[in-house]
Amino acid sequence: MSRYTTTPILDTTLPRHYATRIFPVIPTSANDVYIVTTSTERLDKLAVSFYNDAASWWVIAAANGLGKGTLMVPRDTKLRIPDKALIDTTLTQINKTR
Residue-wise pLDDT for 26-80, tens only, equals: 889 999 999 999 999 999 999 999 999 998 898 999 999 887 778 999 999 999 9
Cα Dmax for the chain: 44
Distance CA 17, CA 47 (A): 25
Helices and strands (H and E) in the chain: how many? 3, 6
Q: Which helix (H) or strand (E) holds 60?
A: helix 57-64
This prediction's pTM: 0.74
